[in-house]
């Protein structure tokens, strides 16, 4: 009789610990299903482009590229390391 009660105790503890993960998993599956249905509905509602022969060429930016602040900061840090060592 003790073995049965210990078995049921372990099973109950497992269910208490696993329940939040199982509920979260079911919630994620429901959200994924809703997203998939919404994507299919959006795809079905989108008009079909029958003239696929004309495609626009991608235009490059006419502005010159300037390094970002992060690049400038990283270059400054590298040069300080080289000087200090």
Instruction: Write out the two tokens for 4.
Output: 């049965």
Q: Residue 72 burial by CB count (10 A; 0-12/13-18/19+): exposed, middle or buried?
A: exposed
pTM: 0.44
C-alpha to C-alpha distances, 18 to 10, 60, 67, nearest whole angstrom: 12, 53, 50
Q: For 6-61, what is each residue's pLDDT tens digit?
A: 999 999 999 999 999 999 999 999 999 999 999 999 988 887 766 655 556 666 66
C-alpha to C-alpha distances, 58 to 46, 49, 61, 64, nearest whole angstrom: 23, 19, 10, 17
Q: For 53-81, what is each residue's pLDDT tens digit?
A: 555 666 666 666 665 666 666 666 655 55
pLDDT of residue 14: 96
């Amino acid at each position: 009789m003790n073995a049965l009660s210990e078995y049921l105790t372990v099973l109950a503890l497992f269910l208490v610990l696993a329940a939040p993960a199982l509920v979260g998993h079911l919630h994620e599956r429901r959200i994924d299903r809703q997203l998939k249905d919404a994507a299919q509905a959006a795809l079905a509602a989108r008009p079909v482009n029958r003239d696929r022969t004309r495609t626009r060429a991608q235009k490059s930016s006419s502005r010159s590229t300037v390094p970002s602040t992060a690049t400038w900061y990283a270059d400054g840090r590298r040069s300080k390391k080289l000087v200090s060592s």
